[in-house]
Amino acid sequence: MHGTTTGQASAAVPAVKTPPSDRVPLPGKVGYGVGAVGAQIFRDTPALILPIYMITVLGVPAWMAGIAILIPKAWIIFCDPLVGGWSDRKVATWGRAPFLLAGAILSGLGFALLFTAPDFASPVATAAYMALVFTLASTGFSLFSVPYLSVAAEMSNSPRERTRVLAFRLIFLAVGVAIGAGYALPLANALGEGWVGFNRMGLLYGLVCAVTMGVTWFTVRRLRLHTAAEPTSLSGRQNVRVLLDNKPFVALAASYFIALTAQAMTYTVFGLYFVYIIGDPSALVTVNVFAALSVVVGQPVTVWLNRYLSKKVLFFAGIIGWSVLCISWIVAGPHEQAWLSSVLGVPVPSAVLLAVRGFLWGMFNSVYLLMALSMLTDTIHWDRERTGEARSGLFAGVFSALEKVAFALGPAIAGVILSAGGFVGAKTGGAVPQTGTALLTLTLCFAVYPALLKVASLIAFIWYKER
């Protein structure tokens, strides 16, 4: 059931205790969070696996694969805000739950179709197929992801309670990361050789997306959301003005977009780095499992720290920490293992080093991500207090579009850099010989360039003011 309230609590100075009317019951927090499993699988797995699938299985050149992934994300620039505005206009009649249901079904189906590419003779035809299917799948995902982000700002008028709700989302997001980023490639290899293994993985993961995202639909349709009046019908230019008038939103969105573009570059070459540099693709499992574990451990800690440190300070700390850990991958490998063993005087297993690095990397990532999402709900709540209108969908749609574009721009940038460095792909289903320059380019693209870009994202964030 959807209610309408116009709470006046300031997002800048949260109350010591959350009023009972603003508390979200534990089943509501858990049910909302479960959808992040499927949502993260849909977001992370294509970013990580599609380049490998297209380059090493389908034989598509790296630059062409990057462009094929970018095209659907270009469409999302328009699709996400349209879905957000549509859900705002239907908030008093349909609510946001029907969007979540349609998105859950279409996302699962679209994910499965991504890994059923026919064996075209031309790489151009293959890239065109992947671009088309990914566009349709991404459209279905928008129906889920935009309302999913919108309802987070409507579940409570309390900034602290919204942060707690989003902490549950990130805990389940970590599960999605482990499944999507950690197990997708090993699972595809285990389920069959080449195309067959990826196809079976796609069918299984598509089902997981549909079911977990469906749980969120079932939960949200039973919750009482804090909404406002239906927004005044505005032109596209007027909507842009509404967004730009919210200065904290602009600063946050700009910084978040740059940071995610850097992160997407890392995701794009994650698998390739472990294949060619680390020499053990199965080690991805160790890194991602411990990164996921760090999120589960880190969310309660981050919520606690937010009682004493501002969201802005924690966001800065998360970005800097992530960047330092990213650069540290340059020294990962046998030489680092031998040096630490000699310093400590005892053998240090490589699995331990991977686990520690993965845990810390995931910890810092979860800190800045939770603060970014929490600050987004604060900017939305501030707009609702100023105008008395429900524009959660508009702000969430733009924010979600920027997120998806970043996860397409990152692979495109990485693909162009890899191709310029001489990195080649082939229809072998595995690693092919690369030049020393190509391997150096791969290392820079994974560990150095993303870290520098991530730190640069803080320039835009300087202008964010907590309210």
| Whole-prediction pTM | 0.77
The separation between CA 449 and the C-alpha centre of its own chain, rounded to angstroms, equals 19
105-126 tens-digit pLDDT = 999 999 999 999 988 889 999 9
Residue 396 makes CB contacts below 8 A (sequence gap 6+) with: 84, 146, 147, 149, 150, 153, 376, 380
- The phi and psi torsions of 371 (rounded to 5 degrees) equal -65, -35
Q: What pLDDT is attached to residue 430?
A: 63
pLDDT averaged per 10 residues, the chain (length 467):
38 46 87 95 85 88 86 86 88 86 96 92 92 94 94 87 92 86 86 92 96 96 73 67 87 95 88 82 81 87 90 94 94 81 84 90 92 92 80 88 83 88 70 82 92 95 83
Residue 266: how many other CB atoms lie within 10 Å? 25
The DSSP H or E segment spanning 440 is: helix 436-443
CATH superfamily of 27-229+242-461: MFS general substrate transporter like domains (1.20.1250.20)
Asked whether the beta carbons of 144 and 100 are under 8 A apart, the reply is yes
Torsion region of 390: left, alpha or beta (phi above 0 gives left; psi -120 to 50 gives alpha): beta
Residue 124: how many other CB atoms lie within 10 Å? 13
CA-to-CA dists, residue 26 to 213, 230, 439, angstroms: 18, 29, 48
Residue 386 makes CB contacts below 8 A (sequence gap 6+) with: none
Domains of the chain by residue range: 27-229+242-461
Asked whether the beta carbons of 173 and 143 are under 8 A apart, the reply is no
Q: What pLDDT is attached to residue 232?
A: 62
